[in-house]
Structure 1
Amino acid sequence: MKILLYFEGQNIIGKSGIGRALSHQKRALASMGIDYTLDPKATDYDLLHINTYGPKSLQMVKRAKKLGKKVVFHAHSTEEDFRNSFIGSNQLAPLVKKWLVALYQEADHLITPTPYSKKLLRSYGLTQPISAISNGIDLKKYYPDEKKEAAFRKYFHLSETQKVVICVGLFFERKGILDFVEIAKKMPEYTFIWFGDVPMLSIPAAVRRVVKKDHPKNVIFPGYINGDLIEGAYSGADLFFFPSYEETEGIVVLEALASQQQVLLRDIPVYDGWLNDRMNCYMGNDNQEFEQLIRQLVEHQLPNLSMAGFKTAQEKSITQIGAELKAVYQEVLERPYDHQIYAKVTK
């Protein structure tokens, strides 16, 4: 078995959760001894596993079908999580949905990160088999490390007693960035750090203004940071606060859980079935509730659920995801060709 992993636009979205999903797939396949290639010109593969939805992705699907290859589409994206992101995203969202459906329906099998996103795909009228498989997490990478935590605090000139609340995400309104800043304004005694970025000209003026200048001194936007610093931030902060309104999974949430960090989330459907308020994380619904929970968590007035969260992350380890991907690949390769799909994409 040999898999062609395809990812379009690495330079544009490689820093996003989808970009990290590709890295996890490579490690997951390696953990199962599955041979793979990243060469889009390769022909000696058995199955195309495609992660993106641009025009080149469609070309790859057509090429694979002409070669008689099976296609698994990783449905990371939905109309719902496209909204409230880039300038004009809400106006374009219905067209994006049509494009996604046109692409996804050409696959022999769909993979999507959660039961929630699987439900969304079914609501689009997609009928082929769909497997809900987490994007997974590299547990060893995010295990708490005192040196990494010290490097994080030194980089941001934080004293040992300074309380820090972090978030990781693109500068999208749907990620809750405006709420993050509004809450920080009411809590000047804490430092709030939002890791991540996007090209400034691609986001609405209100978000751009908040990131550039309209935020209090206790809010820091350091941009995209990886490696020891972000890993040290995950475990070395006092709280991971992720007020996103819409996700298909939320890889950064898995990273925080793997870091044995306290996690505060907005109560949205994507977490149903794997994250539970007051059991392995904390959840809120509005800024007033978030402010109260942040104070209680940072000041240790609520039970620490970090180890319960870590156990949840363990269930989504790279090795586990590798086994689930392997099972899907084997089933798809053993399945007879759908001649209707084949005829449609090779016209």
Structure 2
Amino acid sequence: MKILLYFENEKLIKTSGIGRAMKHQMEALESQGIDYTTDPDSEDYDILHVNTYMINSSRLIAKAKKEGKKVVVHAHSTEEDFRDSFILSNQLSPIFKKIIMNVYSEGDYILTPTPYSKKLLEGYGLTQPIEDISNGIDIRRFDYDVEKIKAFRKYFSLKDEDKVVIGVGLYFDRKGILDFVEVARQLPEYKFIWFGYTPLYTIPKHIRDVVNEDHPTNVLFPGYVKGPIIEGAFSGSNAFFFPSKEETEGIVVLEALASRQNVIVRDIPVFDPWLEDKVNCYKGTSNEEFVDLIRGVVENTLPSTKEAGRKTAEQRSIEEIGKRLKAIYEKVLAQ
């Protein structure tokens, strides 16, 4: 069998979770020897696997169905995780839901990253088979590497005694960026670094102000950073803090787990049941709890969850996701 993997506007999404999902899908298929193409003009394929929801995606689906091809739609987004993001996102979210539903409803089979997002889609009234499958993680990329840690600490001119908490995400209220800054304000003895970038003209003014200047001196916003520096940050910091309010999975959480880092997240439904409080992570519900958890993790007064977290990530390795995708494709072709 041969798969056409389609991601519309690759340049636009490359720094987002969907962008990393694209890379992971390619690697997953390669790990299982599954033939694939990313050329939308290709005629030589058996299954179209669509990951985006813009006009060209809809046209490609229509063309594939006309030719009798099978269509798998990957539901990376929901109305819920579109809200509290860009300017006017809350007002536009019902329209966004209609757009994604138009695409999702055309699939013969729907994939989505977590049991939580599957439940949301079922609530939308979709009738096709829906299966949850993680976006996966390149485990080896996040193995402990002294040189990467040195690169990270040198990049930020960190002293040996500096204790660092990192977060990763777009500049969205939904990602918990305001709580990240407020928690940092209450822990001035630690450095807080938020990796990620969103064009400032696309986000609300109160978020823009926080990123530009309305944050304490112990908070850094270096923007989008890739390669050894961010990989060194995951394993070379003292804690990973991700106070996101809504996700369909959260690839950055998988990256932190794979890095054997202590992870602190907000207690939201998407992390159930694969993240377990006090086992492979710590969960909080308020800034007061986050402050206590971060202090406990950084000062080693709370038990480490690093090894259990790594095992959770290993269950979602690229190879494991490749096996799942292969089984799903075979199922779709047999329909």
- Regarding TM over 0.5, the answer is yes
Which residue of the partner structure matches residue 182 of structure 2? 182
Question: 2: distance between equivalents of 1:125 and 1:235?
Answer: 42
Shift of 1:206: 0.5
- Alpha-carbon displacement from aligned partner over 1:208-254 (angstroms, at most 9, x marks no partner): 11001111111000000111000000000000000000000000000
- Alpha-carbon displacement from aligned partner over 1:35-76 (angstroms, at most 9, x marks no partner): 000101101011100101111111111111122111000000
Given the alignment of the two structures, is residue 263 of structure 1 paired with residue 258 of structure 2, yes or no? no
Given the alignment of the two structures, is residue 5 of structure 1 paired with residue 5 of structure 2, yes or no? yes
- Alpha-carbon displacement from aligned partner over 1:183-215 (angstroms, at most 9, x marks no partner): 111111100000000111000001011001111
Alignment of 1:66-77 (within 5 A): 66-77=66-77
Shift of 1:102: 1.5
Q: Could you say what secondary structure the match of 1:117 adopts?
A: helix
Which residue of the partner structure matches residue 253 of structure 1? 253
Question: 2: distance between equivalents of 1:83 and 1:56?
Answer: 24
Question: 2: distance between equivalents of 1:301 and 1:60?
Answer: 54
Question: 2: distance between equivalents of 1:268 and 1:118?
Answer: 15
Q: Could you say what secondary structure the match of 1:73 adopts?
A: strand
- Structure 1 runs of 4+ with >6 Å offset: none
Shift of 1:144: 1.2
Amino acid at match of 2:218: N
Which residue of the partner structure matches residue 106 of structure 1? 106
Alignment of 1:83-102 (within 5 A): 83-102=83-102
Percentage identity across aligned positions? Answer: 61
TM value normalised by structure 1: 0.96
Question: 2: distance between equivalents of 1:9 and 1:199?
Answer: 16
Question: 2: distance between equivalents of 1:153 and 1:64?
Answer: 49
Which residue of the partner structure matches residue 166 of structure 2? 166
Alignment of 1:254-333 (within 5 A): 254-333=254-333
Shift of 1:294: 0.8
Question: 2: distance between equivalents of 1:241 and 1:144?
Answer: 19
Give unmatched runs, 5+ long, in structure 1. Answer: 336-347
Which residue of the partner structure matches residue 52 of structure 1? 52
- Alpha-carbon displacement from aligned partner over 1:246-266 (angstroms, at most 9, x marks no partner): 000000000000000000000
Alignment of 1:236-247 (within 5 A): 236-247=236-247
Which residue of the partner structure matches residue 32 of structure 1? 32
Which residue of the partner structure matches residue 126 of structure 2? 126
Question: 1: distance between equivalents of 2:311 and 2:326?
Answer: 23
Amino acid at match of 1:218: N
Question: 1: distance between equivalents of 2:181 and 2:13?
Answer: 24
Q: Could you say what secondary structure the match of 1:209 adopts?
A: helix
Aligned Cα root-mean-square deviation (Å): 0.6
Question: 2: distance between equivalents of 1:209 and 1:254?
Answer: 30
Given the alignment of the two structures, is residue 224 of structure 1 paired with residue 195 of structure 2, yes or no? no
Q: Could you say what secondary structure the match of 1:36 adopts?
A: strand
Question: 2: distance between equivalents of 1:99 and 1:169?
Answer: 24
Give unmatched runs, 5+ long, in structure 2. Answer: none
Question: 1: distance between equivalents of 2:91 and 2:144?
Answer: 42
Question: 2: distance between equivalents of 1:331 and 1:284?
Answer: 40
Shift of 1:160: 1.3
How many residues end up aligned between the 2 structures? 335
Amino acid at match of 2:214: D
Which residue of the partner structure matches residue 141 of structure 2? 141
Amino acid at match of 1:310: R
Which residue of the partner structure matches residue 42 of structure 1? 42
- Alpha-carbon displacement from aligned partner over 1:275-306 (angstroms, at most 9, x marks no partner): 00001100000101101111111100000010
Amino acid at match of 2:252: V
Which residue of the partner structure matches residue 342 of structure 1? none
Shift of 1:32: 0.5
Question: 1: distance between equivalents of 2:143 and 2:53?
Answer: 33
Given the alignment of the two structures, is residue 15 of structure 1 paired with residue 9 of structure 2, yes or no? no
Question: 1: distance between equivalents of 2:59 and 2:168?
Answer: 33
Q: Could you say what secondary structure the match of 1:170 adopts?
A: coil
Shift of 1:334: 1.3
Which residue of the partner structure matches residue 339 of structure 1? none
